[in-house]
Structure 1
Amino acid sequence: MVLQEQESPAPFPADDPVLAIAREMFIQDGWIDVRRLGTVSGVSRATLYRRYGDRDRILGEVVWSQASADLAGLREQHRGRGATGIAESVEELVRISFARHSMRTFLGEHTDTALRVLSSRHGVVQQRLITTVVEWIIEEIGEPADIDSHSLAYAVVRLAESFYYREFITGEPADPGAAGVIIGRVLR
C-alpha cells in the first residue's frame, strides 16, 4: 500500500512581520492569542484569518519555523551517516522540541489543539516533517526497494511523535532515546 502524499501549503516568508510577532508570542506564552496578535501587528482579525488562515495554521507556521531551523542544523551535523544519521537527527529534534518551554506549555495547557496542530495530516507541521524525512531517506539510504519513501518517512515521523507525545497521551514519560533506537532499526 502506498500512502498518498498530502500537499502542505507553502510556508510564509521567514521575515513576515506578523509571523515574527506570532513567533515571539509563542516563545513567551506557548500560545498565540489572535486578538492580541491583531492588535500588536496592527492587522484586523478578519485580515489575519484571510491572509494566514485560522489559529491552527498560524500556530503550525510558528512551530514549523522553529523546527525547520533545528532540522537544517541537525542535517548538517548528521549528513552522510545513513540510517543512523537520520535516526539521530529525528531523536535530537524530539529532544530539542521537548526542552522548549513554549512547546511544553503548548502541549500541557492546550493539549488537544497542540496534538491537532502538530500531528494532523491537515496541518503543516507533520506534512513538512514527512517531506523533510523523505528527502533525507533518498539522500542517505536511497529509495527503498520494498516500500515507497513517503510511507517509510511517515512511519519514522509517527514513531517519533508517539514517543514525543507519550506523556500527554498515556501519562508515561517522553522517551526520545527509544524513538531514535527504533527509528534506526526501521531504517536499516
Structure 2
Amino acid sequence: MPAIKDINYKALVDPTKPHPFPEIPDEIFFYAVDKVLSEKRVDLTQMAADLGVSRVTIHRKVRRRDDLLGAAMLYVFTFMLDLALEAGNGKAGVERIGAISHRLFELVRTSNALHFLLSNEPECALRLLTTKKGPIQGYMVAGVELMLAEEVDNGTLAPRMPVHSLAYLLVRVGESFMYADVIADEPVDIEQAYECVMGILKSQAT
C-alpha cells in the first residue's frame, strides 16, 4: 500500500479506458480531470479556447459546469476508494470497514485537488460532494453499502439497521468531519471521525 505522500493521481488517469460518464466526450472529460488534479479552475470559456472549439459546442456536450466538475471529482474519488480498499486487506467485519474508512479520511484530507476546490469554491464543492446535486455522495453510499453487504454475506457483520441506512449514516458522519472546516468552521479531526465510525459500527455488531 503506497504512502499517501507518494500517490500520484495523474499517473492513475488512463484516457484509453472508458470513464464513468460516457455522455461527456473524452476530450472534454479528461481536460476537466487534468484541471482538477492540477489544482486549477475548470473554466468552460478557457476550455473551449484550449480545445479549439466554440463555447456553444462545449455547452452542447456539457449541460452545466457543475455537471462536468462533479464528474471529474467523482473520477478522482474512484481512485481514492480503490486505494482505501487496500487498507482492508486481511481484515474482516468492523475492523475492515474501520480500516478502509480511516484510510479514506486520510486520502480526502490530504488531497491537494479537493483542498483547492474547497478553498476556492466552497459552496460549489460542498454541493457536489455532500448533496444529491453532485454524484459523489451517492457513489460513496453505494460503495459503503457494498462493503457492508459483503461483510454481512460473509457472516462477519450483522447490523441491526438496514444496510443502506447504515451506509448512509456512515457517509454523512464522514462528511461532517472531513469538511467540518468549511461547513461549520470547526477543525478537521480524522481520528475523531474514525472513532465515531467505529462507535457506530460496534453498536451495530452482534
TM-score (normalizing by structure 1): 0.84
Within-5 A mapping of 1:35-46: 35-46=45-56
TM-score (normalizing by structure 2): 0.77
| Contact 2:87–2:103 under 8 Å retained in 1 | no
| CA RMSD in angstroms, aligned pairs only | 2.3
Within-5 A mapping of 1:38-187: 38-79=48-89, 80-142=91-153, 144=158, 146-187=160-201
| Contact 1:86–1:137 under 8 Å retained in 2 | yes
Deviation at 1:116, TM superposition (A): 0.5
Please, which runs of 5 or more residues in structure 1 have no aligned partner?
A: 1-9
Q: Which segments of structure 1 move beyond 4 Å, counting only runs of 4 or more?
A: 142-145
Deviates more, 1:93-102 or 1:118-127: 93-102
> Which whole-Å CA distance do the structure 2 matches of 1:71 and 1:128 have between them?
10
Deviation at 1:43, TM superposition (A): 4.2
| Contact 1:165–1:174 under 8 Å retained in 2 | yes
**Equivalent of residue 28 in structure 1, options 38, 58, 63:** 38
**Which residue of structure 1 aligns with residue 21 of structure 2?**
12
> Which whole-Å CA distance do the structure 1 matches of 2:101 and 2:166 have between them?
14
Write the letter of the residue equivalent to 1:49: H
> Which whole-Å CA distance do the structure 2 matches of 1:131 and 1:170 have between them?
26
Deviation at 1:144, TM superposition (A): 5.0
| Contact 1:19–1:62 under 8 Å retained in 2 | yes
- Distance 1:163-1:96 versus aligned 2 partners, 3 A rule: same
- Distance 1:86-1:16 versus aligned 2 partners, 3 A rule: farther
Larger C-alpha radius of gyration, 1 or 2?
2
Write the letter of the residue equivalent to 1:22: A
Q: How many residues align?
A: 179
- Distance 1:173-1:48 versus aligned 2 partners, 3 A rule: same
- Distance 1:41-1:82 versus aligned 2 partners, 3 A rule: farther
- Distance 1:182-1:48 versus aligned 2 partners, 3 A rule: same
Write the letter of the residue equivalent to 1:94: F
Percent identical among aligned pairs is: 27
Deviation at 1:103, TM superposition (A): 1.2
Query: 1:49-91 CA distances to partner (integer Å, 9 max, x unpaired)?
Result: 3333311121111111111112112213314422222222222
> Which whole-Å CA distance do the structure 1 matches of 2:105 and 2:59 have between them?
30
